[in-house]
Amino acid sequence: MDTAPARETPPAKRRAPRHRKLLVAFLAVALVLTGSTGWALDRYVFEHVEIADVAAYEASVTGQTASTTSTTDADAVVTDTTYTSDAAGVTISTVVTGSGESTVTYYVADVVLDDATTLRSAFAQNAFGENITETTSAIAEDNGAVFAINGDYYGFRDTGIVVRNGVAYRDEGARDGLAFYTDGTVEVYDETTTTADELVADGVWNTLSFGPALVDDGAVLDGIEDVEVDTNVGNHSIQGDQPRTAVGIVDTNHLVFVVVDGRSPGYSEGVTMTELAEIMQGLGATTAYNLDGGGSSTMYFDGELVNDPLGTGEERATSDILYIAG
């Protein structure tokens, strides 16, 4: 594996999200035809804030001190590709396969945690609700992250169980989710057979609701090319060669994160769901799960964007991240 090259100038951050502009334009045309302008804009564009200060809310539930930023561990060391501290070790690698228009470029973060709760989640704008977005980099900076990837874009849908940092936020089971436990284990589970409160009581620290599951018991799962997360307006098909984000578990407190760039012929065309599963399997993941992809697929490390979303150097705003604080 090659190491990710250092970038001299970090990409621009906090730009107006291009996907929001495209979605608004799409809705404007569609709604002229359907006459349902108010409903669609309200559902898919306008922010709906349910909890305005997540840090304070989590503190009130868990009894911890409210904070949206973290200070750097005095013992932490960050190089171009590796971060080590008393709490976690992160190593970033770049992999390039194929040639010409069949080239695929992806980034691997091998992460070993001292404690499972070191891997945290954060919401855009420190708020919980629908259509609340920021770029992965912006959310990472707001929370003092040294490493981050995009999450499941929970705010684009109103279904799915949402447990973050040991706090239950949504209890609308709809699909196979991913659960991170405080003991360092990770498993795929059926959201429709449990509740958010039961998961928290059982020691779940974070959940993700997207999918599909890619690898189980070390084997690539069948039928993953046919899974649809949902059919909301503005969704891009998750089939075919696409930019991807996935997370897998190698062993207790040993995780692997992969972000695949795509839709950029000659640099990276993206991968199918099965190819993504095979990448995760090859990295030693015994369980792996697909997260929001396409323009959302983003990896952030040491103050900079690691990958190149859609070949533009710009990020698409999303609703949440997984991160490790500095």
- Condensed to tens digits (0 to 9), the pLDDT of residues 21-48 reads 555 555 555 544 455 677 667 766 788 9
Percent of the chain with pLDDT over 90: 73
Give the span between the Cα atoms of 249 and 251, in whole angstroms.
6
Residue 19 clears pLDDT 50, i.e. is over it: yes
- Specify the DSSP element, H or E, that contains 139: helix 136-142
Q: In Å, how far from its chain's centre is CA 99? A: 28
Residue 239 clears pLDDT 90, i.e. is over it: no
**Out of 23-27, 90-94, 226-230, which region has the weakest mean confidence (pLDDT)?**
23-27
pLDDT digits (tens, 9 = 90+) for 143-172: 999 999 999 999 999 999 999 999 999 999
Pairing of strands 88-97, 82-84: antiparallel
* Dihedral sign (CA 275, 279, 284, 286): negative
- Which band of pLDDT confidence, cut at 50, 70 and 90, is reported for residue 312? confident
Residue 311: the pLDDT is 84
Say which residues have a Cβ less than 8 Å from residue 66's Cβ, sequence separation at least 6. 53, 55, 56, 58, 59
Percent of the chain with pLDDT over 70: 82
**Averaged pLDDT of the chain:** 88
Residue 254: the pLDDT is 98
